[in-house]
Structure formats: C-alpha cells, structure tokens
Amino acid sequence: MATHEKHCNKCGEDWPADLEFFYSNPRTTDGLAYCCKACYREQVAAVPRRQTVASASPHMTDCIAPLLAGPARSGSAA
C-alpha cells in the first residue's frame, strides 16, 4: 500500500496525507488543511489572545430590576 504525501504550504515539508499530520478541511479537494498541524499550532500560538474585561456599563436588567421587584412598599399601612 503506497502512502500519499501532502506538501505543507507553510514549512515546505512533505508529510503523510492523513489526519495524524493534517487537520481536516472539507473545503479542500483532499479533505485536509493546507498546512500541517505543527505549523497550524505555531500560527495559533503567535496570535495574542484577546483579554476580556468585565463591562462597567449598566446592563438592561439593572434598569428594569425595580420594575421586576414589584410595587414599592411603604413602611406605613393605610
């Protein structure tokens, strides 16, 4: 059984054309990604992750919370 090889467009190396070395990509004719898994991991690691910061702006529920709590009750009975 002959093993087919695929060329990685990033590193220029030839690797066995299987899911051990390439991620799947159904949009390509062979069903494998254009670059090998090692190059893809390097590419993802090079992109800085976005830091999420808690929002200081009020939320919609903050505005309607008094309405959801029901009518305001006064301390004296009528």
* 64 within domain boundaries: no
% residues pLDDT > 70 (the chain): 81
> In which band, very low, low, confident or very high, does the pLDDT at 67 lie, cut at 50, 70 and 90?
confident
Q: Which helix (H) or strand (E) holds 22?
A: strand 22-24
Q: Full-prediction pTM beyond 0.95?
A: no
pLDDT tens-digit series, residues 17-49 = 999 999 999 999 999 999 999 999 999 998 888
Host domain of residue 40: 1-45
Answer yes or no: is pLDDT of 60 > 60: yes
* 74 within domain boundaries: no
* 68 within domain boundaries: no
Looking at the 3D structure of the chain, how many domains does it have? 1
Residue type, 49: R
* 41 within domain boundaries: yes
* 57 within domain boundaries: no
Q: How far is 30 from 5, CA to CA, in rounded Å? A: 11
> In which band, very low, low, confident or very high, does the pLDDT at 66 lie, cut at 50, 70 and 90?
confident
